[in-house]
Amino acid sequence: MSERTEPRPRRGSNGNASGHSANMTHREVRSNLARAAALVLAAAVLVVTPGVSAATTHPRETHDLDEEARATLLRVACNEHTAGKPVAQALVERVGLHTARLTSAPDGAREATPVGLLDAFRGERCPEPQREIDYRADALGDVEGDVTEFRRLVRGALADPRGWSLDGDLAFVSDEDDAQFTVWLASPEEVAAANEVCSPDYSCRVGDDIYINDVRWRDPPDTFAGEELDDYRRYVVNHEVGHWLGHGHFDCAEEGEAAPVMQQQSIDLEGCEANVWPLEWERDPVRDDWLP
Ligand SMILES: [Zn+2]
């Protein structure tokens, strides 16, 4: 997991939206979704406000979601397309209110009624990013990993509020034409050829190119043996993008604690626990450097 250490020149702000232009069909679909959402919301309002006494007959506690359930639903509802929208509306548009469809949601969310879900996010809006960074994700060389899956995972890791998105303040937007950096799913040969400091055994970042090693992508290092495959993948994306954002490496601070994402966790956990997301003190300098 080596990388060139010279400082990368900071890019100027390119806060422009990336010019996604919806065609008519897309617009119609969105309009229909919005109408459906409005109907469901209207129905929910009718249900929860039969009279002023609704608040006492339906105690607030029954609509409260635990923190994990709320966080999961926020991740489902909010992305770069739903910035600034009411969370409840975004949730309806993205997955409907069939709670059974929220397969990744923790128990607290699956057990909630549709009305409870809407109520839990009353008055809350999806975060609006303060800055956009355009990136590209693609394959390089002879790779066996699934490129569509690779793109999906990179996108999810970068959009996750726990990561470098800084709770949604920084939006990473997939845009091939204006990409400020590229994440490659690269064959070991391509990784090694990228720069003399890169090894065919690890991933590597050289300037604005991030090479995710295709062999590691499919077969994680031993340090991640007990973890989900996708967690290792998110870790390596976060680690290498962390370099692009300006970070060097950190060591495990205390045995048994979560490892910094900028620790070389693929090589040695140094007594720390494997960890996918940047620690708060790793996110702070990125906040200082990248947000207005
Ligand atoms: Zn590194």
Specify the pairing of strand 181-186 against strand 131-140. parallel
Tell me, in angstroms, the distance from the centre of ligand 1 to residue 264's CA.
Answer: 6
Q: What's the rounded Cα separation, in Å, for the pair 190 and 213?
A: 9
Environment class of residue 50 by beta-carbon count within 10 Å: exposed (0-12), middle (13-18) or buried (19+)? exposed
pLDDT on residue 57? 39
The CATH architecture assigned to 131-290 reads 3-Layer(aba) Sandwich (3.40)
pLDDT on residue 66? 79
Identify the residue whose tokens are 């959402």: 37
pLDDT 10s digits, 155-196: 999 999 899 999 999 999 999 999 999 999 999 999 999 999
208 closest CA partner among 15, 16, 14, 8 = 8
Tell me, in angstroms, the distance from the centre of ligand 1 to residue 43's CA.
Answer: 51
Tell me, in angstroms, the distance from the centre of ligand 1 to residue 144's CA.
Answer: 23
Tell me, in angstroms, the distance from the centre of ligand 1 to residue 258's CA.
Answer: 17
Question: Range with the lowest mean pLDDT among 99-113, 217-231, 234-248?
Answer: 99-113
User: Which neighbouring-strand residues pair with 138?
Assistant: 184
Tell me, in angstroms, the distance from the centre of ligand 1 to residue 102's CA.
Answer: 35
Tell me, in angstroms, the distance from the centre of ligand 1 to residue 76's CA.
Answer: 29
Tell me, in angstroms, the distance from the centre of ligand 1 to residue 237's CA.
Answer: 10
Q: How far is CA 229 from CA 117, 241, 248, in A?
A: 30, 19, 25
Please state the pTM of the whole predicted model: 0.72
Count other Cβ atoms within 10 Å, centred on residue 36: 13
Strands (E), the chain: 131-140, 170-174, 181-186, 204-206, 209-213
Specify the pairing of strand 170-174 against strand 204-206. unpaired
pLDDT 10s digits, 124-142: 999 889 999 999 999 999 9
Question: Range with the lowest mean pLDDT among 5-14, 182-191, 247-256?
Answer: 5-14
Tell me, in angstroms, the distance from the centre of ligand 1 to residue 191's CA.
Answer: 14
Specify the pairing of strand 181-186 against strand 209-213. parallel
Residue, of 258 and 116, whose pLDDT is higher? 258
pLDDT at 49 over 50: no
Q: Please give the average per-residue pLDDT across 54-58, as a whole number.
A: 37
234 contacts 153 by C-beta, under 8 angstroms = yes
Tell me, in angstroms, the distance from the centre of ligand 1 to residue 168's CA.
Answer: 24
Tell me, in angstroms, the distance from the centre of ligand 1 to residue 262's CA.
Answer: 6
pLDDT 10s digits, 57-92: 343 444 577 788 888 888 888 887 888 899 988 888
Q: What's the rounded Cα separation, in Å, for the pair 89 and 99?
A: 15
180 closest CA partner among 121, 225, 241 = 241
Share of the chain above pLDDT 70, in %: 73
Residues of the chain with CATH 3.40.390.10: 131-290
Task: Give the mean pLDDT of the chain.
Answer: 80
Tell me, in angstroms, the distance from the centre of ligand 1 to residue 205's CA.
Answer: 8
Tell me, in angstroms, the distance from the centre of ligand 1 to residue 263's CA.
Answer: 7
Tell me, in angstroms, the distance from the centre of ligand 1 to residue 250's CA.
Answer: 9
Q: What's the rounded Cα separation, in Å, for the pair 200 and 202?
A: 6
pLDDT 10s digits, 210-225: 999 999 999 999 999 9
257 closest CA partner among 267, 268, 246, 271 = 271
Tell me, in angstroms, the distance from the centre of ligand 1 to residue 240's CA.
Answer: 6
